[in-house]
């Protein structure tokens, strides 16, 4: 079998833990498998590098950020290869470029366009364990690019797809996918299986256990993901295609996204095209606008409210300030969060949303914004209620039973 292992930041967070990863990889190899390992930076490393850059600039050049951030993963890849060799396992570390990962030019959010797997295949054929620095690739003009936060998951899935691997095992500090973040609700239950679609919603809505784009790609390439712990031998959760005849559960999980900020633009001139102009400029800056509310206008003015990732607040502020003469002012609030209820069974059941609203109302939690789709309900609330809201929703849908 050819297996891709991916180890996240916590799993490689110290030299002892890298040693632990080396012995897990050595074991998989000794069982007769070909193994390709994708690694993240040691935990805290990427944040540290971002803080370094922010010392000099609130909006540093994205190209230079990629040069900086890609270094964290290279350190781990090299250390793991060294540790493996010391354990008698022949290994070779590769950067994203050396592994043949080509991306578009969207620095810090780059998309993988293709993978030339020949260099990896060559080393695998020589019996080596290939250790790839996750989270990175190379643009057409030869600059280093990174794939967005949590992007090593995407590297792993893409490599598993390119190598036609039998499985992509993603190792973190939890032994699978739970009905909600087990750090917030200790009664959360581990699932044996979750469909790509449900996992994609959970991941997109803040369950950072898997990066959302990695799940999207796994679905497209039909890569079987297994979420496991690097600290135990527990079974893990399989993420795969929903099987015919499987009974769709009403609600499969609750997600929380704390990386949310709310922007309110006051007294926007109520003329056709103004919203388009503002949102086009935000999109040009790769700022992800999520929920949008426009208040009824009075005296030719309207208020425009929307949410964005907190990490993009500085960028959004700069964009909106350029509309100075078209707006009365803006308010920024980063003390909000988004809680979401996810389940494919919602498609065919009415009243799921009402249950959520009533449950939060009973706890006196005010819902500031709502958005729904066929298989999810998302609510913006004050961040101070985040954990209470997650536990309340987890219990009202009987997920702890
Ligand atoms: P890594 O650093 O290995 O990439 P992450 O920290 O990105 O790992 O993801 C693992 C974390 O995801 C867990 O520690 C857990 O707190 C969190 N998490 C959030 N939602 C869930 C969920 N539904 N099931 C399991 N873990 C979850
Ligand atoms: N090191 C990167 C991050 O912290 C990528 C990853 O860990 O997947 O976002
Ligand atoms: Mg992660």
C-alpha of residue 364 to centroid of ligand 1, in Å: 28
C-alpha of residue 3 to centroid of ligand 2, in Å: 21
Say if residues 355 and 211 touch (Cβ distance below 8 Å): no
Paired tokens of 142:
């030869």
Strands 292-294, 301-308: parallel, antiparallel or unpaired by DSSP? antiparallel
* pLDDT bracket for residue 166 (50, 70, 90): very high
For ligand 1, whether the C-beta of 178 sits within 6 Å is yes
Pocket test for ligand 2, best of 6, 149, 173, 259 (most atoms within 8 A of CB): 149
For ligand 1, whether the C-beta of 150 sits within 6 Å is yes
Kindly report the number of other CB atoms within 10 A of residue 57's CB atom.
Answer: 11
pLDDT of residue 394: 98
- Ligand nearest to C-alpha 41: 2
- pLDDT at residue 375 greater than cutoff 80: yes
Say if residues 254 and 340 touch (Cβ distance below 8 Å): yes
Sequence-ordered strand ranges (E) for 18-109: 34-39, 91-94, 101-103
Q: Whose CA is closest to 352, among 335, 330, 323, 374?
A: 374
- pLDDT at residue 256 greater than cutoff 90: yes
The predicted model gives 385-390 an average pLDDT of 98
Give dist(CA 200, CA 229) in Å, integer. Answer: 20
* pLDDT bracket for residue 245 (50, 70, 90): low
Q: pLDDT tens digits for 274-320? A: 888 999 999 998 898 999 988 776 777 888 999 999 988 989 999 99
Q: Whose CA is closest to 205, among 308, 337, 340, 313?
A: 340
- Please write down the long-range contacts of 43-50, taking CB distance under 8 Å and 24 or more positions apart: 43/8, 43/9, 43/10, 43/12, 43/13, 44/9, 44/13, 45/9, 45/72, 45/75, 46/9, 46/72, 46/149
SS (H, E, C) 176-189: CCECCCCCCCCCCC
**Among residues of the chain, what percentage have pLDDT more than 90?**
85
Paired tokens of 309:
């990732």
Kindly report the number of other CB atoms within 10 A of residue 138's CB atom.
Answer: 21
Paired tokens of 310:
């907190």
Atom of ligand 2 nearest to the CA of 40: 7
- pLDDT at residue 246 greater than cutoff 70: no
Pocket test for ligand 1, best of 178, 209, 215 (most atoms within 8 A of CB): 209
For ligand 2, whether the C-beta of 46 sits within 6 Å is yes
Residue 131's region, left for phi above 0, alpha for psi from -120 to 50, else beta, is: beta
pTM of the model: 0.92
Q: pLDDT tens digits for 40-52? A: 999 999 999 999 9
For ligand 1, whether the C-beta of 11 sits within 6 Å is yes
Atom of ligand 2 nearest to the CA of 151: 8
* pLDDT bracket for residue 174 (50, 70, 90): very high
Beta-bridge partners for 364: none
C-alpha of residue 29 to centroid of ligand 2, in Å: 25
For ligand 1, whether the C-beta of 173 sits within 6 Å is yes
pLDDT of residue 301: 82
Distance linking the first and last C-alpha atoms of the chain: 37
Say if residues 397 and 364 touch (Cβ distance below 8 Å): no
Spatial neighbors of 123 by CB under 8 A, at least 6 apart, are 92, 130
Atom of ligand 1 nearest to the CA of 152: 4
- Please write down the long-range contacts of 356-364, taking CB distance under 8 Å and 24 or more positions apart: 356/393, 356/396, 359/392, 359/393, 359/396, 360/389, 360/392, 360/393, 362/392, 363/388, 363/389, 363/392
Helices 152-162 and 212-221 pack at an angle, to 10 degrees, of: 10
CA 238 to chain centre: 18
Beta-bridge partners for 167: 3
Paired tokens of 69:
């951030």
C-alpha of residue 46 to centroid of ligand 2, in Å: 6
The predicted model gives 37-41 an average pLDDT of 98
Give dist(CA 317, CA 312) in Å, integer. Answer: 9
C-alpha of residue 230 to centroid of ligand 2, in Å: 17
Please report the domains of the chain, with CATH numbers, ordered by start residue. Answer: 2-173 (3.40.1160.10), 254-396 (3.30.2130.10)
- pLDDT at residue 248 greater than cutoff 90: no
């Amino acid at each position: 079998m050819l297996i891709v292992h991916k180890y996240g930041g916590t799993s490689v967070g110290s030299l002892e833990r890298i040693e632990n990863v080396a012995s897990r990889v050595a074991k998989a190899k000794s069982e007769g498998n070909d193994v390709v390992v994708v690694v993240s930076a040691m935990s805290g490393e990427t944040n540290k590098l971002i803080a370094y850059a922010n010392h000099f600039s609130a909006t540093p050049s994205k190209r230079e950020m990629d040069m900086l951030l890609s270094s964290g993963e290279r350190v781990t890849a090299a250390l793991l290869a060294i540790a493996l060799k010391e354990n008698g396992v022949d290994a070779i570390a590769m950067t994203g470029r050396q592994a043949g990962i080509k991306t578009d030019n969207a620095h810090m959010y780059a998309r993988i366009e293709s993978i030339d797997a020949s260099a990896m295949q060559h080393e695998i054929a020589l019996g080596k364990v290939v250790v790839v620095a996750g989270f990175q690739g190379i643009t057409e003009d030869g600059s280093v690019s990174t794939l967005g936060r949590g992007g090593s998951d995407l590297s792993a899935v893409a490599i598993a797809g390119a190598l036609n691997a039998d499985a992509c095992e993603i190792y973190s500090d939890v032994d699978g996918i739970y009905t909600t973040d087990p750090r917030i609700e200790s009664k959360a239950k581990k699932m044996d299986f979750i469909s790509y679609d449900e996992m994609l919603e959970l991941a997109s809505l803040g369950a950072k256990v898997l990066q959302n784009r990695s799940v999207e790609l796994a679905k497209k390439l039909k890569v079987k993901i297994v979420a496991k712990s690097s600290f135990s031998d527990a079974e893990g959760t399989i993420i795969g295609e929903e099987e015919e005849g499987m009974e769709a559960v009403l609600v499969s999980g609750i997600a929380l996204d704390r990386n949310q900020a709310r922007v309110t633009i006051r007294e926007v001139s109520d003329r056709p095209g103004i919203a388009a102009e503002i949102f086009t400029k935000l999109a040009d800056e790769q700022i992800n606008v999520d929920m949008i509310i426009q208040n009824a206008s009075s005296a030719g003015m309207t208020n425009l409210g929307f949410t964005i990732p907190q990490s993009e607040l500085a960028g959004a502020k700069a964009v909106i300030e350029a509309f100075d003469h078209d707006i009365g002012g803006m308010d920024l609030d980063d003390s909000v969060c988004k809680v979401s209820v996810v389940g494919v069974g919602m498609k065919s059941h009415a009243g799921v949303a009402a249950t959520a609203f009533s449950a939060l109302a009973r706890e006196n939690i005010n819902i500031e914004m709502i958005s729904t789709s066929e298989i999810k309900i998302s609510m913006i609330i004050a961040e101070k209620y985040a954990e209470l809201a997650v536990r309340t929703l987890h219990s009202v849908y009987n997920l702890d039973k």
